[in-house]
Structure 1
């Protein structure tokens, strides 16, 4: 497995991973599938993308992590193909992300995680993010209250 910067041609594979996570439900605030074009703009090379890295296994994208500028801060998102979590992909992605952000001018990262996303909360805690705020009233579009935890990592 290698970790590298995402390229525009990775957008389709990245969308497949993201859409599989969305379809599974319960671990992302994204509720609707994203197109290849949306993933490319929002997570690969759009104006607000600060970093985007993929986990590549024999030419196949099995996970990805992107950092984007949102409301003046650097926000991170991580997506791993269902069934492949807890195998070191997330740790490798984060190491690549930190290297990619060196000299970016940002001093910290923000992760906003659904409060009911136990694997996501465990992942961000394991790599060193700490709680800074909670939004217990965060709801999905269908009205379900799932809450959200905001965590910070100082670079």
Structure 2
């Protein structure tokens, strides 16, 4: 497995992977499919950091990004992580987070926030295992499709 910075030419493969996760449901706040243009625009945001994991053949295994959290005076990275269905538990997320954490420190972020659906047991376990700590909860969050879920807020201190 190789970890590298994601770029514009990776956007289509990342959109396809994310759309598979969205179609399965239950683990992401995204409810509508995304396209490469959407991800390319997100990658171009100031202070956004994107990494991907791929195998020796170049198959995309997963990706992770951070972008600045809005509504705070602190420089906080908001994180999102996606792994190919059926490929979780293989160290993809761990490897991605090590690269993301180092890049966040270099970028000057103070801490990283994960905003996770409370019904996403895998996501909660993943961030907990990386050292994220609970610091809040959003109850009754209405998603784009009308579904109501609670969200768990976790933070990872970089300093």
TM-score between both structures, scaled by the size of structure 1: 0.94
1:53-64 to 2 correspondences below 5 Å? 53-57=51-55, 58-64=57-63
Distance change (3 Å), C-alpha of 1:131 and 1:68: same
Task: Quote the Cα distance in structure 2 between the aligned partners of 1:142 and 1:100.
Answer: 34
Q: Does 1:120 align with 2:123?
A: yes
Distance verdict in 2 for CA 1:48–1:31, change over 3 Å:
farther
Q: 2: distance between equivalents of 1:145 and 1:37?
A: 28
**Corresponding residue of 2:64:** 65
Please give the alpha-carbon distance, in whole angstroms, between the structure 1 residues aligned to 2:46 and 2:140.
Answer: 27
TM-score (norm 2): 0.91
Which residues of structure 1 form unaligned runs of 5+? Answer: none
- Match of 2:50? 52
Question: Does 2:131 match 1:141?
Answer: no
- The count of residues paired between Structure 1 and Structure 2 equals 153
2:20 maps to: 20
Residue in 2 that maps onto 1:86? 89
What do you get for the CA RMSD once the two structures are aligned? 1.2
Q: How far off is 1:134 after superposition?
A: 0.3
1:36-68 deviations in Å (ceiling 9; x for gaps): 0101111x3x12352100001121211000000
